[in-house]
Chains A and B, each alone.
Chain A
Amino acid sequence: MLNRRIFVRNSALTIVGTAAVPGFLRRAAFGAVEPGTRTKRLVVIFQRGAADGLNIVVPHGEQAYYALRPSINIPKASVLDLDGFFGLHPSMSSLLPIWNQKHLAIVHAAGSPDPTRSHFDAQDFMESGTPGMKSTEDGWLNRTLRSVHSDASFRAVAMGPSLPRILSGPEPAVAINNLNDFGIGGGGPQASPVQSSFEAMYAGSVDAVLHGSAQETFEAVKMLRSANPEQYTPAAGANYPRGRFGESLKELAQLIKANLGVQVAFADIGGWDHHVNEGNTEGQLANVLRDFAQSLSAFWIDLGELAGDTVVITMSEFGRTARENGNRGTDHGHANVMFVMGGSVRGGRVYGNWPGLDPSQLHDGRDLALTTDFRTVLGEALYRHLGNQDLSNVFPGFENRTEGFLRLL
Chain B
Amino acid sequence: MSLPGRCFLSLATAGFLCLPAAIAHKKVAPSSSTHRARAIQALNRLTFGPRPGDVEHVLAIGVDKWIEQQLHPESIDDHALDARLAQFRTLRMSTEELAENFPPPTLIRRVADGKQGLPHNKEERAIYETQLVKYREKKEKNAAPDESPMPATSEAAEKLPGMLKLGPDMRMDALLSMSPEDRSDLLATLKGNARKEFLDGMSPEQRESVLAMYNPQQVVTQELMQAKLVRATYSERQLQEIMTDFWLNHFNVFIGKGADHLELTSYERDVIRPHSLGKFEDLLLATAKSPAMLFYLDNWLSIGPKSDFALGIRRTPRGFVRHVPPRIQAKKQQSGLNENYGRELMELQTLGVNGGYTQVDVTEVAKVFTGWTIREPRQGGGYFFDERRHEPGTKIVLGHKIRENGEEEGRAVLHILAHNPATAKFICNKLAMRFVSDNPPPSLVDGMSKTFLTKDGDIREVLRTMLESQEFWQPAAYRAKIKTPLEFVVSSLRATEAQVNDARPLVRELQSLGMPLYGAQPPTGYSMKAETWVSSAALLGRMNFAVRFASGRVRGVDTPSPSLAKVDSFEPKQILTSLENSLLEGDVSKQTHDTVSARLNDPVISQRRLDDPARTPDVSMIEGLLLGSPEFQRR
Interface set of A (CB-CB < 8 Å, partner B): 48-49, 71, 115, 117-121, 134, 158, 160-163, 168, 174-178, 181-185, 193-195, 197-198, 200-202, 204-207, 209-211, 213-214, 216-217, 220-221, 270, 275-276, 325-328, 331-332, 364
Known: A161-B537, A163-B531, A327-B338. A198 touches B543 (CB 8 A): yes
Contact call A202/B541, Cβ cutoff below 8 A: no
Among B301, B348, B513, B595, point to the contact of A197 (Cβ < 8 A). Answer: B595
A-B contact pairs, 15 of them (CB 8 A): A48-B522, A49-B522, A119-B523, A120-B522, A175-B535, A185-B544, A193-B604, A205-B589, A210-B534, A217-B536, A326-B334, A326-B335, A327-B338, A331-B339, A332-B343
Among B343, B531, B621, point to the contact of A194 (Cβ < 8 A). Answer: B621
Interface centre among B348, B354, B547 (most CB of A within 10 A): B547
Note all chain B residues with C-beta closer than 8 A to A134.
Answer: 354
B222-273 CB contacts (< 8 Å) to partner A = none
Note all chain B residues with C-beta closer than 8 A to A161.
Answer: 512-514, 535, 537-538, 541
Note all chain A residues with C-beta closer than 8 A to B121.
Answer: none
Among B335, B512, B599, point to the contact of A177 (Cβ < 8 A). Answer: B512
Note all chain A residues with C-beta closer than 8 A to B599.
Answer: 193, 197
Among B534, B547, B591, point to the contact of A201 (Cβ < 8 A). Answer: B591
Contact call A210/B630, Cβ cutoff below 8 A: yes
Among A49, A162, A198, A211, point to the contact of B514 (Cβ < 8 A). Answer: A162
Given contacts A120-B522, A193-B599, 8 further A-B contacts (CB under 8 A): A49-B522, A158-B535, A161-B535, A213-B536, A325-B337, A325-B338, A326-B305, A326-B310
Contact call A270/B521, Cβ cutoff below 8 A: yes
Cβ-based interface call for B596 (8 A): yes
Note all chain B residues with C-beta closer than 8 A to A209.
Answer: 482, 530-531, 534
Cβ-based interface call for B134 (8 A): no
Note all chain A residues with C-beta closer than 8 A to B302.
Answer: 326
Q: How far is the CA of A194 from the CA of B338 in the complex (A)?
A: 54
Cβ-based interface call for B469 (8 A): no
Contact call B591/A205, Cβ cutoff below 8 A: yes
Nearest B residue to A161 via CB reads B514
Cβ-based interface call for B509 (8 A): no
Interface set of B (CB-CB < 8 Å, partner A): 298, 301-303, 305, 310, 333-340, 343, 347-348, 353-354, 359, 362, 482, 512-514, 521-524, 530-541, 543-544, 547, 589, 591-592, 595-596, 598-599, 602, 604, 621, 624-625, 628-631, 633-634
A-B pair number, CB within 8 angstroms:
164
Q: How far is the CA of A14 from the CA of B232 in the complex (A)?
A: 62
Q: How far is the CA of A174 from the CA of B512 in the complex (A)?
A: 17
* Chain A binding surface SS class: loop
Note all chain B residues with C-beta closer than 8 A to A158.
Answer: 535
Q: How far is the CA of A158 from the CA of B532 in the complex (A)?
A: 13
Note all chain A residues with C-beta closer than 8 A to B535.
Answer: 158, 161-163, 174-175, 213
Note all chain B residues with C-beta closer than 8 A to A195.
Answer: 543
Interface centre among A183, A270, A275, A327 (most CB of B within 10 A): A327
Report the minimal beta-carbon distance from A124 to chain B, rounded to whole angstroms.
9
Q: How far is the CA of A221 from the CA of B298 in the complex (A)?
A: 44
Among A118, A174, A201, A331, point to the contact of B536 (Cβ < 8 A). Answer: A174
Nearest A residue to B354 via CB reads A134
Nearest A residue to B603 via CB reads A193
Known: A161-B541, A163-B535, A214-B539. A201 touches B592 (CB 8 A): yes
Q: How far is the CA of A211 from the CA of B633 in the complex (A)?
A: 12
Known: A325-B337, A326-B338. A120 touches B353 (CB 8 A): yes
Nearest A residue to B531 via CB reads A168
Q: How far is the CA of A211 from the CA of B539 in the complex (A)?
A: 11
Q: How far is the CA of A17 from the CA of B9 in the complex (A)?
A: 58
Contact call A198/B628, Cβ cutoff below 8 A: yes
Contact call A118/B521, Cβ cutoff below 8 A: no
Contact call A71/B338, Cβ cutoff below 8 A: no
Q: How far is the CA of A35 from the CA of B631 in the complex (A)?
A: 41
Report the minimal beta-carbon distance from B436 to chain A, rounded to whole angstroms.
16
Note all chain A residues with C-beta closer than 8 A to B310.
Answer: 326
Among B338, B533, B596, B630, point to the contact of A162 (Cβ < 8 A). Answer: B533
Among A175, A178, A201, A206, point to the contact of B538 (Cβ < 8 A). Answer: A175
Q: How far is the CA of A276 from the CA of B302 in the complex (A)?
A: 10
Interface centre among A117, A158, A194, A216 (most CB of B within 10 A): A194
Contact call B513/A201, Cβ cutoff below 8 A: no
Contact call A184/B544, Cβ cutoff below 8 A: yes
Report the minimal beta-carbon distance from A137 to chain B, rounded to whole angstroms.
10
Report the minimal beta-carbon distance from A192 to chain B, rounded to whole angstroms.
9
Known: A162-B532, A213-B536. A118 touches B353 (CB 8 A): yes
Note all chain B residues with C-beta closer than 8 A to A327.
Answer: 298, 301, 333-334, 336, 338
Q: How far is the CA of A220 from the CA of B456 in the complex (A)?
A: 52
Q: How far is the CA of A213 from the CA of B543 in the complex (A)?
A: 13
Contact call B602/A193, Cβ cutoff below 8 A: yes
Contact call B482/A221, Cβ cutoff below 8 A: no
Report the minimal beta-carbon distance from A248 to chain B, rounded to whole angstroms.
12
Note all chain A residues with C-beta closer than 8 A to B604.
Answer: 193
Note all chain B residues with C-beta closer than 8 A to A176.
Answer: 536-537
Q: How far is the CA of A275 from the CA of B339 in the complex (A)?
A: 9
Known: A161-B514, A326-B335. A120 touches B537 (CB 8 A): no
Note all chain B residues with C-beta closer than 8 A to A214.
Answer: 539, 630
Nearest A residue to B593 via CB reads A201
Note all chain B residues with C-beta closer than 8 A to A181.
Answer: 512, 540-541, 544
Note all chain A residues with C-beta closer than 8 A to B602.
Answer: 193
Q: How far is the CA of A200 from the CA of B362 in the complex (A)?
A: 53
Known: A201-B595, A327-B336. A162 touches B538 (CB 8 A): yes
Q: How far is the CA of A198 from the CA of B338 in the complex (A)?
A: 51
Among A183, A197, A205, A217, point to the contact of B625 (Cβ < 8 A). Answer: A197
Q: How far is the CA of A276 from the CA of B300 in the complex (A)?
A: 11
Known: A120-B522, A161-B541. A275 touches B531 (CB 8 A): no
Note all chain A residues with C-beta closer than 8 A to B531.
Answer: 163, 168, 209
Note all chain A residues with C-beta closer than 8 A to B343.
Answer: 117-118, 332
Nearest B residue to A194 via CB reads B547
Note all chain B residues with C-beta closer than 8 A to A200.
Answer: 591, 595
Note all chain B residues with C-beta closer than 8 A to A206.
Answer: 589, 591
Q: How far is the CA of A209 from the CA of B480 in the complex (A)?
A: 11
Q: How far is the CA of A221 from the CA of B631 in the complex (A)?
A: 22
Contact call A220/B630, Cβ cutoff below 8 A: no
Contact call A207/B338, Cβ cutoff below 8 A: no
Q: How far is the CA of A260 from the CA of B44 in the complex (A)?
A: 41
Note all chain A residues with C-beta closer than 8 A to B621.
Answer: 194
Known: A160-B537, A275-B298. A201 touches B625 (CB 8 A): yes
